[in-house]
Structure 1
């Protein structure tokens, strides 16, 4: 997508107060894909010490939407998404890696792997998500 790069994607993310609260960052953006990361902190954990499922859902939603934005343009909205939790998320970083599966003129379907990254950089799949994103631009 012309004129919309990693730097601009991060600025868009930073304009979201909730994303700033979570200290999320976009680490890859373009060609039908986006990667969103955040550091695992104690205040993001649930009562058993795992990363809260709501944090994983946030990461899936935003990475899915950013990936779709690479094909549909910057004005997009999530129409819906689902998350299947595979295992509890532990580690030091949550990485949400989203890839467009299909994109038309007004809608994209995107898949996302949610990975817990350990101190040594190893990735462990903790959830998978799929979503539909719509172009918010008027025809």
Structure 2
């Protein structure tokens, strides 16, 4: 297993890029380290639900991956999401989604992580659209 201090943004970007679904959505890891991770993706029409807002599944995807990458800064590269809860604050609309996750508590085998999910408009102003908390676990080896 890779030790947390051996991980850096360049390696984490490669891990994200190895996920076909992340590539499909066009997700970008823009910050990684010191117990935190940020994932961004451009909002495009095909990510909307019937009312013109970003689909909740896309929001959950961003939260899930941001939580897991932040947890990986504390636990190492081999991690899995144990579970998370998400509260939608307002409908997501704008130019981009920004999921910022931070480790709240890290142990040897699990980390509790919080994520705030923002939308950005064309001027870059950010609006909170969801908050989440999850448990990230060290993946079983072998």
Asked whether the two chains share a fold, i.e. TM above 0.5, the reply is yes
TM range (shorter): over 0.9
Following superposition, which runs of at least 4 residues in structure 1 exceed 3 angstroms of deviation? none
**TM-score (structure 2 length as normaliser):** 0.95
Find the counterpart in structure 2 of residue 133 from structure 1. 136
**2-structure distance, mates of 1:3, 1:120:** 36
**2-structure distance, mates of 1:2, 1:84:** 32
Structure 2, unmatched stretches of 5+, are none
Over the residues paired in the alignment, what is the CA RMSD in angstroms? Answer: 0.8
Find the counterpart in structure 2 of residue 60 from structure 1. 63
Deviation at 1:3, TM superposition (A): 2.3
- Residues 69-105 of structure 1 show CA distances to partners (whole Å, capped at 9, x for unaligned) of 0010000000000110000001100000000000000
> How many residue pairs get matched?
138
**2-structure distance, mates of 1:133, 1:3:** 19
Deviation at 1:14, TM superposition (A): 0.6
1:45 and 2:35 aligned: no
User: For 2:13, which of 10, 22, 45 is the aligned residue?
Assistant: 10
Structure 1, unmatched stretches of 5+, are none
1:90 and 2:100 aligned: no
Deviation at 1:55, TM superposition (A): 0.3
1:118 and 2:105 aligned: no
Deviation at 1:137, TM superposition (A): 4.7
Report the secondary structure of 2:5's partner residue.
coil
